[in-house]
């Protein structure tokens, strides 16, 4: 099972909190998440799902539905699939039962509320 460790980065630009990249033909399941916050303040971690859509047509009207760029436009243009707030000095572990059913269509990126190398985020995931 792939695992990725990152530290808490607030979003500025780029993808410093990248957990896994988008796969052309696969979705992803988050199977485990650990947030070990030894920072001196509470840290809120959001996991973003970034993907671009294909142009399509609205079923009701047949009108063109333009492509949307929830990946290309930056991390925070994506969808927040999970958010957890961890008090200072504590660790939160979410397992398969907590995360069941959370599905990612594209790139997963962790975004923290404050920059800290003392707040570590570890994700286990599976591409399906």
Partner 1 sequence: MIEVRPVQTIERIAPATRILLVNHWVKFSNKFPDSLDHVKGKAAQILKQQQVDYQLSWTIKENCYKDINLSNEDTGEKLYPDVADNLYEVTIGFKPGNYLCHVFFPADYPIYRLDYPDMSTLISSDSLKYLGAIKPSDSPVDNPIFKLYLLYKLKPVILRLYADDGVDYEKITLDFSINRCLMGFGTPPQQITPKPILYLDEIKWLAAG
Residue bearing tokens 């990152």? 6
Which lies closer to partner 1 via its Cβ, residue 16 or residue 78? Answer: 78
Alpha-carbon distances of 16 from 5, 13, 21, 92, 108, rounded to whole Å: 11, 8, 12, 21, 11
Give the separation between CA 125 and CA 128, rounded to whole angstroms. Answer: 10
Which lies closer to partner 1 via its Cβ, residue 35 or residue 75? Answer: 75
Which lies closer to partner 1 via its Cβ, residue 5 or residue 26? Answer: 26
Minimum separation from the CB atom of position 81 to partner 1 (A): 11
Q: Is residue 96 within a helix (H) or strand (E), and if so which, with residue range?
A: helix 96-99
Minimum separation from the CB atom of position 26 to partner 1 (A): 8
Task: Write out the two tokens for 3.
Answer: 């695992």
Query: 3-class DSSP state for residue 111?
Result: strand
Sites for partner 1 among residues 64-123 (CB under 8 A): 65, 68, 79, 105-106
Question: Is position 51 an interface residue for partner 1 (rule: CB under 8 A)?
Answer: yes
Residues that contact partner 1, how many (by CB under 8 A):
21
Binding site for partner 1 (CB under 8 A): 24-27, 51-62, 65, 68, 79, 105-106
């Amino acid at each position: 099972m792939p695992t990725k460790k990152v530290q808490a980065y607030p979003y500025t630009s780029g993808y410093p909190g990248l957990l896994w990249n988008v796969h052309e033909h696969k979705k992803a399941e988050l199977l485990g998440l650990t947030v070990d916050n030894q920072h001196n303040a509470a840290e809120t971690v959001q996991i973003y799902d970034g993907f671009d859509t294909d142009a399509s047509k609205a079923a009701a009207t047949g009108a063109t539905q333009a492509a949307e760029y929830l990946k290309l436009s930056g991390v925070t243009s994506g969808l927040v699939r999970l958010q957890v707030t961890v008090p200072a000095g504590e660790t939160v572990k979410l397992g398969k039962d907590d995360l069941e059913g959370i599905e990612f269509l594209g790139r997963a990126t962790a975004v923290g509320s404050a920059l800290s190398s003392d707040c570590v985020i570890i994700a286990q995931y599976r591409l399906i």
